[in-house]
Amino acid sequence: MKFHYYPETDSLYIDLSEKPSVDSTEVAPGVVLDFDAEGRLVGIDVDRASQIVDLSRIEASELPVTSFSLRKVDHR
């Protein structure tokens, strides 16, 4: 699972799978779900993310995680 956040537009994309999306639906204002060709959820697109999600913390419990990375990009 990957989180991609863009502060300049306050946009968050959560990749649940590497598979591409072929269909999408908006389930709440600014929240769009992406589905693959088999109808499986592959990503979540969140607009104005800071108004919907607490971006300041990530918590996980009992996930079988083998790697974790945080990357800060300097756009200056």
**23 is an interface residue for other proteins by CB under 8 A:** yes
Is residue 40 a contact point for other proteins (CB under 8 A)?
no
Does 45 sit near other proteins (CB under 8 A)? yes
26 phi, psi to nearest 5 deg:
-90, 120
In angstroms, give the least distance from the CB of 62 to other proteins: 28
Q: What are phi and psi of 36, to 5 degrees?
A: -85, -175
Query: Is the CB of residue 25 less than 8 Å from the CB of residue 50?
Result: no
Give the C-alpha separation, 6 to 46, whole Å: 11
Choose which of 31, 47, 50, 52 interacts with other proteins (CB under 8 A): 47
Residues that bind other proteins (CB under 8 A): 4, 6, 8-9, 11, 13, 15, 20-26, 32, 34, 42-43, 45, 47-48
